[in-house]
Amino acid sequence: MKVLIVDDEVEICRHLQRELKKEGCEVEYTTSPLEVIERLYDAKRQEMPYELLLLDLRMPGVDGFELLRRIREAQLDLDAIIITAYGDEDKAVEAVRLGAVDYLRKPISLEELHTAIFRVRQKRTQEAKKALRHRILIVDDEKDMCARIRRELDKEGYQVAIAYDGVKSLDYFKNNRVDVVIADIRMPGMSGLELVRRCREINDDCVFIIITGYGDHETAIEALRLGVFNYLKKPVMLEELIVSVDRGIELLLLRRGLSASRRELEIEATIKEQYARSLEKMVEERTKDIKKLSDAVQASTDSIVITDPDGKITDVNEATLKMYGIDDQTDLVGKSSFDLIAPEDREKAVAGMKETMEKGYVRNREYQIVIKDGTKIPVEMSASAMKGMDGELIGFVDITRDITERKRAEETLRKTEEKFRNVIENIFKFVPEGLVVLTDKLNLFRRN
């Protein structure tokens, strides 16, 4: 699997490169995120595409999220694992939502790294078949025996390495990804048990099979206590060894699969937790907004009536009670808002409601309403449709203003204009061709 690491910290890049090479990966890194997109395209054009990207979200001058989005938009056949600092889990989870397979927290745990790589390989089914050619390390000072075991394991398709003492085997184990270690319990320089202890300190994601001589039963029991998968007595039956290796690999894959599943559950739980926190915050903010809106509604001097989709009243403010001469809102809640409209204007009000449903709002429509004592008063009404998150209508907000004084003023102005017009027309009857001078600031006009 070809891997590109993008991180501005060189030491982290080199550390990850070493570990991923043990996994059999072809690994490159860059500390310059600005060139990443072009580099990915170049590799694809050369038919040597990267399959996995390890991307640090926090780098100078670069938005890791934007870079990840651009990579996704480019539709490259590329999986991503995000590298994030402690405390940035929310950002990492957001990256997972954008399509990243997993995320790693700094300082990076090798166990989490290996689990993430295993999950990527599981995801990339075809590549996984090639990448998961399991590596077996044989450790024994008997060269003939090592050769025999190697031939049999080669036939089974395993990748096999040999070390003739514990020190050399430990060095190989440090620098390579090993799935199964087959070790003689008695070797010069380092015993098989000591090798198991040292190897497990380096990487516990491995199966150990111990070969014991006659009379080594107590040592074999100690080996099992150390977590050794199986022990075989000399002379080793190759068929028995192959079965033991196969079962050890099955156990290893099961363990890795469980680890991967556990990690997926952790990520899912983190996503749900983040979503719950976001939802709580949203509810808290929305509650504050509703409180502010409620305060503003109650403080308004205009009547504000909230209804359901059928026009049935669900809430009113104090100005509404005052306008209709009502003491308690329970006298209005549950009634049809059309009952407040004068009978001669109800048809017009129904048409206004239909228009509100179609357009989402209506503005400054004039009606007459009937207040508690039966008096009709003129009002100007505006309405807005309320919709839920799914776009469905959930009700209306009606804002009504008493325009009695405005209507009186308009009527007074109309009468004054009519009176003035009558005066002028009568003057012209008597002076058809003369000059008429009005004394209001000496405004003149002539009629020929």
3-state secondary structure of 139: strand
Domain 135-256, what fold? Rossmann fold (3.40.50)
Distances (CA, A) of 108 to 13, 84, 416: 11, 9, 87
Alpha helices in 74-176 (DSSP H): 89-97, 110-123, 125-131, 143-155, 166-175
Q: State the Cα–Cα distance between residues 40 and 78, nearest whole angstrom.
A: 9
* Residue whose pair of structure tokens reads 């590549």 in the numeric block: 127
Run of H or E including 194: helix 192-202
- For the question of whether the overall pTM of this predicted structure is more than 0.85, the answer is no
Torsion (CA) 100, 104, 109, 115 in degrees, nearest 10: -20
Sequence-distant (6+) residues with CB within 8 A of 101 are 79, 80, 81, 116, 119, 120, 123
pLDDT in tens, 205-252: 899 999 987 666 777 778 888 889 988 888 888 888 988 898 898 888
DSSP 128: H
Q: What is the pLDDT of residue 44?
A: 87
Both structure tokens of 94:
């957001």
The tens digit of pLDDT for each residue in 392-442 reads 899 999 999 999 888 888 888 888 878 777 767 666 555 555 555 554 544
Q: Please give the Cα distance from 255 to 114 (Å, whole number).
A: 12
Q: Does the fold of domain 300-402 match that of domain 2-131?
A: no
Using alpha carbons only, give the angle 395, 399, 404 rounded to the nearest 5 degrees: 145
Would you state the pLDDT for residue 429? Answer: 58
Residue with tokens 């308009």: 410
Specify the length of the chain in residues.
Answer: 448
pLDDT digits (tens, 9 = 90+) for 306-350: 999 999 999 999 999 999 999 888 899 999 999 999 999 999 999
**300-402, superfamily in CATH?**
PAS domain (3.30.450.20)
Which CATH superfamily is 2-131 part of?
A: Response regulator (3.40.50.2300)
Domain chopping of the chain, boundaries = 2-131, 135-256, 300-402, 412-446
Handedness of CA 39, 44, 47, 52 (dihedral sign): positive
